[in-house]
Every structure is written in C-alpha cells, then in structure tokens.
Amino acid sequence: MKNNIDLNKLCPVIKGKLSSSSNNNIPVIISYKSDRKIKEGRISSLSNRLTLELPIINGCACEMSTESILKLTADPDVEFISYDSKVFAVMDVARKTIGADYSLNTGYTGKNVTVAIIDTGVAPHADLIYPTNRIIGFKDFVNNQSKFYDDNGHGTHCAGILAGNGYSSKGKYKGIAPEANILSIKVLDENGNGSTSDILSTVQWIINNKEAYKTRIINFSLGAIAQYKERRDPLVKAANRAIDNNLIVVAAVGNSGPMRNTVLSPATSRYVISVGAENDRSKLYAENEIIADFSSRGPTLDRIRKPDLIAPGVDIMSLSNKNLSGYTTLSGTSMSAPMISGAAALLLNENPNYNHFDIKKKLLNACSRIKASSYEQGAGVLDIRRIFS
C-alpha cells in the first residue's frame, strides 16, 4: 500500500500535518474523478464520521486520521483531498458615518429578480420588508432556524447595499436594486466564520431550489484562502457549477491587500465576477479614486488577472441588524460585491435572458480605469451611468 501513496493528491495544509507526530482526525474534503462514484464503504472504513455528501464536486466531507488519508491517496478514483478550510466574511472595519446613495438612476429596479446572499443571514430590516417583504426565502445551515435573522450583521449590511429600498431614510440610503428579492442563506456563524464543506452544500441547495425561488444571482461576500489552483479548488468548482446551471456568480476578492497574490477563493475562478474595492472617500485624494488599501490583489495561482472590476468599498452606509430601521457603515470588498450583484439584477430587468457571461461582459465594458495596475483594478471602476448607455 505504501508504494501506491500519492502525495500529489494532498493539499499543502494536509501535507503540513503529515509532518506532525499526531495522528488526530482532521476535517477533509475528498473529490473523486468526474466519471467515478464515491466509494462510501471505502470512506466508512477509514473515517469515524462521514459528515456530508457533496455531489456538487462529486465528493464528500469527513474526518480522517493522517494515516487513513495516506491510505486513501492510493485509490485511483480519488482525484484530490483538501483540508476543510475555514471560510469567513470578507469585512474590514466599521468607519466614520457617511451619506452615500448608490442606487441607479434608471427605470430598472431589480424587480422580480432573486439574489441568493450566502452570508451570516439577513435581519428583518424595514428597508427589506416594507411595504412588501422581499426576503422571500431563508435557509439556516448553522442553527437550523426557520425564521430569518442575522446574529452578526454582515449579511444584513450586504443585503441593504444590494436591495435596500431606503424606506427608513426616505430614500437616502437606497441600494442598487431596491426592488430585488433576497434569498438569505445563513452559512456563517455569529463571528462570521464557516467551513468550506458547508458552502459547498449551500451552493448545491441553491441550484436544487433555484426554480422555487426564481434565483438568478449568487453573492459571495465571503471566501477562503486560495491554497491550490482552480481545477482542484472545491469552492471554485462549486461556483463554476452554479454558472453552468445558469446562475450569475459574484464574489468579493477579500481584504488581504495590499500584497499581491491574495485573492480569496472562489473569486479566483476565471469565470466568477470577482470584485475588489476602491476608496472614493480619501481626503488625501480629493479628485482621484484610489484602490482601497485592504482590497486583495491578483494574480491568482493560475496567473489569472483578478479582480475583474472594482466598486466603492470604504465607509459604505447600509442596514443595521441591531436597529431594524437604522443604518451603519462598514468597509471591505464585502461591500463592493453586492453593488455588482445589484447591477447584475438591473441588467436582468433589461433582458431576463442574459446569462452569466453576458452580464460579466456588460459590466466590464461599463468600467472606467483609474491610476492602478490591472492586478488591483481589473477593468476598472464600474461606472453605473454607462451600463445602459
């Protein structure tokens, strides 16, 4: 058996743990080759606990000892074994309150377009439930609650940027698509943390239920450290599968700047619409927009230029989860991504038949470049005035 061990099937984190004298169980995600079936009997014999089946990547999640993991690499049907990494909300820090209105001055409002927000949940803020409740669905992968809530605030803030109607502010803090519907998926806990395997289950659930909620867009204001190239990255595989199922996928690149090569997964996917943050609030650059210092930079491990584009991400005023008619400011690429998701919802009002690649092309063509490298800004800042010109 030892002669058949293939260390190339292991991610760097697991390889690092092999050097430890400990043989404790660790959480892993096992991906099988696309034309092979999961061998549940084989997994059960090596694992104390099979936690999740993950058909979206033709795999499963479980806990295994390092010894068992090594044995499993000898299975010719196993493609890759990755560590079940932590996923986290890509939020920076709360900043000084500003008055900002990023709603589009068009006849489109995102009406009848459903956006799935994979995050910490969404609180029943007045700007989302009055005069009509537009939180049309809720799925809780953390605490299995049936009534929608947000015990962190991150998801609610993102939902407001995307779809808040400004009810409590008399229109002042209106979101990009103020009549869009929200499908809230709670997969991050009260601290904004979750696991890769839970995100994979979430994306599968969205795909399976997309007709019931008329879901067209997925917003990822979260991510995990990109440890491997696209073809082996579970989150990238899931995001790409969603695109294959006619969903539009938008993801924040993360807040690990200003260093290069810091884009989070699944924003590392060449197909996903990956969003960085600009700082249009800097007093030092009154006339010039600059890249937010925290915004992650490309390229990816596959040398792909990322982000695809940028949007404001500093001191963004949006909904509070504590005061359900109040507002708060947050900064981060998490705040930039729902602006782009909102713009995608407006484009679907223009033409419901647009697919992911149609939307991506139109968004990138509506960007204006600033004084920054392509690995910082991609195509540039989305100019909302140019989208429908």
Q: So which residues are the catalytic ones?
A: 119, 154, 334
Judge whether 63 and 47 are in contact, CB under 8 Å. yes
Cα distance between residue 125 and residue 45, in whole Å: 48
Burial status of residue 105 (CB atoms within 10 A of its CB: 0-12, 13-18, 19 or more) = exposed
Q: Do 178 and 109 form a contact (C-beta atoms < 8 A)?
A: yes
Torsion of CA 75, 79, 84, 90, to 10 degrees: 180
Under DSSP, is residue 265 helix (H, G, I), strand (E, B) or coil?
strand
Q: What is the DSSP letter of 185?
A: E
Is residue 79 within 8 A of residue 31, CB to CB? The reply is yes
Rounded Cα gap, residues 333 and 342, in angstroms: 14
Side-chain-side CA neighbours of 147 within 13 Å: the count stands at 2
- What residues form DSSP beta bridges with 80? 31
Nearest to 293 by CA among 267, 249, 262, 338: 262
Q: How far apart are CA 26 and CA 32, in angstroms?
A: 19
The answer to whether the bond into 12 is cis (omega within 30° of 0) is: no
Q: Quick one: tokens of 295?
A: 């915004």
| Other residues' Cβ atoms within 10 Å of the Cβ of residue 99 | 11
Q: Closest Cα to residue 9, out of 31, 41, 25?
A: 31
For residue 12, give the H/E element and its range. helix 12-18
In one-letter notation, the amino acid at residue 48 is N
| Structural tokens at position 316 | 């963004």
Query: Read out DSSP for 93-139?
Result: ------------SSS---TT-EEEEEESB----HHHHSSS--EEEEE
Query: Is 166 within 8 Å of 178 (Cβ atoms)?
Result: yes
